[in-house]
Amino acid sequence: MLRFILGFIGAVFSLVLLISFFSNVSTFLTSPPEQTAEEEFHKHPKHLALASDGPMGHFDRQQLQRGFQVYKEVCAACHGLSLVAFRDLEALGYNEAEVKAIADQWATEVPTTNPETGEAATRKAIPSDRFPSPYANEVAARAANNNALPPDLSLMTKARHDGAAYVYSLLTGYQKQQPAELLEKFPAAKTPQGLYYNPYFANLNLAMPPPLTSDGQVTYAAGNPAPTVDQMAKDVSAFLVWTAEPKLERRHATGLAVVVFLLFATILGYLAYRNIWYGEKAVVRKTGILDPENQAKAARAKRKAGVKG
């Protein structure tokens, strides 16, 4: 009886699913979904190779410093880095005094309370502060940016598919003109006033104006590569990998030690297992190194080769 009830339930579910399937297929055939401009013109990020890639990746500190410089001089005007503290910059190779100077000279001051009047005030940043947000609040940020909200960049390379490659592609992917083909096929997809066409952005049009516009926009210290737009985009992407995952090098180093330890434990555990099961398993005895016949064979081979012991 139970089987009949359950069989009936199964038949009902399967039937409703098949009805759904046929209605789905017939809708698909009678009115196939129209292609959208996003589907056709959205591009996958370009390839970007960074020192931090791969299982043993590490940070190129010179590049991180350049990336930080780009962030400081370009991105920081609109984007916060609220999860990173000035003191964290020591990991980039700055010394304590340099970090102090960077905090002290930071363009945005840290909100505080005037100790005498109790009124809202600002003060200069100190190393223990996190990077102050360029805007007092979301409303101010939107008001200054045509109602768009510049996102915080701390986790950007972990919060998007393809992380750093996406950031790099976005920064270098702006196009002055939409492709003629796009406008021809999707006249409604014309970039609206105040937005910028960028095929690496999910919906193709982005409120952020191209931030890196000309080579040499940031002046790198001597001994660094020329600050082309491409180079600056790469450097700031590398910097944002660090802000999102500051413990990456530590993780890789620990991981190597852990894996080596566990492999060693696996091998010892396996040998212990073979040893314990030796008397109980024909197959273990046949291939095991502890098998008397195998040991005799090994001894014969040694004698033949003239090895002592």
Contact footprint for other proteins (CB under 8 A): 2-3, 6-7, 9-11, 13-14, 16-21, 23-25, 27-28, 33, 55, 83, 88, 151, 154-155, 158-161, 163, 202, 244, 246-247, 250-252, 254-256, 258-259, 262-263, 265-266, 269-270, 272-273, 276-277, 279-286, 293
Amino acid at 177: Q
The CA R_g of the chain, rounded to the nearest whole Å, is: 31
Choose between 209 and 255: whose C-beta lies nearer to other proteins: 255
What is the crossing angle of helices 61-73 and 229-244, to 10°? 100
CA neighbor of 91 nearest in space, from 199, 241, 232: 241
d(CA 21, CA 35): 22
Minimum gap (Å) between residue 277 Cβ and other proteins: 6
Contact residues for 79 (Cβ-Cβ < 8 A; gap 6+): 71, 134, 150, 151, 152, 153
Q: Which is nearer to other proteins, 215 or 250 (CB)?
A: 250
Q: Which is nearer to other proteins, 283 or 307 (CB)?
A: 283
Residue 152 CB neighbour total at 10 angstroms = 17
Q: How many residues does the chain have?
A: 309
For the CB of residue 246, give the shortest distance to other proteins in the complex, in Å.
Answer: 6
Residue 39 CB, shortest distance to other proteins, in Å, is: 10
Residue 23 or 213 having the CB closest to other proteins: 23
Nearer to other proteins among residue 158 and residue 303 (C-beta):
158
Q: What is the closest distance, in whole angstroms, from the C-beta atom of residue 161 to other proteins in the complex?
A: 6
Least Cβ distance, residue 184 to other proteins (angstroms): 25
**How, if at all, do strands 120-123 and 196-197 pair?**
unpaired
* Other beta carbons within 10 Å of 43: 12
Please, which residue, 88 or 235, has the CB nearer to other proteins?
88
- Could you tell me the CA-to-CA distances from 134 to 26, 109, 118, 137 in Å, in that order? 53, 9, 23, 9
What are the beta bridge partners of residue 113? 120
Least CB distance from residue 228 to other proteins, whole Å? 28
DSSP 92: G
Shortest approach of other proteins to residue 272 CB, angstroms?
6
When the beta carbons of 120 and 262 are compared against other proteins, the nearer one is 262
Torsion angles phi and psi, residue 110, rounded to 5: -90, 130
